[in-house]
Amino acid sequence: MNELLLNEQIYQRVILDLLPTAEKFVWIATADIKDMYVERRKGKFDTFLSVFADLIRAGVDIRLIHAKEPGPRFRKDFDRFPELIESEHFERFLCPRNHMKCILIDGRIAFVGSANLTGAGMGAKSPRRRNFEAGFLTDNKETISRLMEFFDTFYLGDFCKDCGRRDVCPDPVA
């Protein structure tokens, strides 16, 4: 399957339909990360971090890479969930050079596209306030394997040693 997702289709398919089905792991890379609200039950919205907290409580491992510090509203919501602070199932790091946007779920499905992990990027905002975004959803094993290998290499700090931006990196992995 190779499915083109545009605008609010990203929010519907990736954030609402697929993310909550993760059983083993979710790996997310984004340049920008902001507070994003998702519909948890009909007409009831909460921060997407509540989805992360539910997944962590279910034993799902989450890796999150982002390029810059999130804003104060995100940090306030983040602090509502002790799972995100205390659990060994949640790991995140900041890399100023990261610009990729991808979501990998259980090594079985991947979304790769232009959208940052924000309400405007993922299509969770109203049509007049969201960005114009495009991306692909795939279950192609070779594509997912290559993407996971790249993500893992990046996540484990293999690029840190020769990085030309160490002077602006707040917390090098290696």
CATH number reported for the structural domain that contains residue 149 in this entry: 3.30.870.10
Digit-coded pLDDT (tens) for 36-71: 888 888 888 888 999 999 999 999 999 999 988 888
Burial of 16 (0-12, 13-18, 19+ CB in 10 A): middle
Q: How many domains does the chain have?
A: 1
Q: Give the residue numbers spanning the domain of 31.
A: 2-158
The answer to whether residue 130 is domain-embedded is yes
> Does 167 reside within a domain?
no
CA atoms lying within 13 Å on the CB side of residue 48:
22
Q: What is the pLDDT of residues 131-144, one digit of tens each?
A: 888 899 999 999 99
Residue 173 inside a domain? The answer is: no
Q: Is residue 165 part of a domain?
A: no
Q: What percent of the chain has pLDDT over 90?
A: 52
172 in a structural domain = no
Would you state the pLDDT for residue 132? 85
- One-letter amino acid of 60: V
Strand extents, DSSP E, the chain:
2-6, 25-30, 37-41, 44-47, 61-66, 90-94, 102-105, 109-113, 134-138
